[in-house]
Amino acid sequence: MDTGSAHLETLDRATCLALLAVLDVGRLGVVDDDGCPVVLPVSYVVVDEDGDLAVAVRTRPGNVLDRPGRPACLEIDGVDPGHDGGWSVLVRGLLRPVAADERFDSRPLLAAGRDAWLVLQPTAITGRRLVAPELRWTFHPAGYA
């Protein structure tokens, strides 16, 4: 592999799960009743569903994201603009309704008015990282002229 050029690396499942565990806001994508994709920010928490990983999200009952039984995806990412790098994790699966219990944090950032919980049961968890060609100085030398 040429380490002198930017390239994409596939993230393994353990790395994807670790990244999912450290964040609590992502973007949930669904298809609305008109057949158009909709992607909106949501608070989420990774939960154990009888030994399987799932992602619980809060939403308002009856809103565009409240689509139990339909395919959906959750995406999170991180950017390192100073080094032209970053990463992305995508969880694809089916949404299902669930009653909130002690596994779900009642204080997520986007909780106001969001009383419905949905669980995204993953069918696939994938990730990738953009590796920069080389580290570069994050301050432009022209700023010191």
Q: What is the pLDDT of residues 100-130, one digit of tens each?
A: 654 565 555 455 566 678 899 999 999 999 8
Q: What is the pLDDT of residue 88?
A: 95
Mean pLDDT of 37-63: 86
Fold entry, domain 7-144: Pnp Oxidase; Chain A (2.30.110)
Q: Which of 2-11, 67-76, 124-133 has the lowest mean pLDDT?
A: 2-11
Mapping DSSP to helix (H, G, I), strand (E, B) and coil, where does residue 29 land?
strand
DSSP 143: G
Are the CB atoms for 85 and 130 separated by under 8 Å? yes
Asked if the model's pLDDT at residue 94 lies above 90, the reply is yes
**Please, which residues bridge with residue 26 across strands?**
42
Give this prediction's pTM: 0.79
As a whole number of angstroms, the distance between CA 140 and CA 61 comes to 49
Domain borders along the chain are 7-144
> Cα 124 to the chain's mean position, in Å?
13
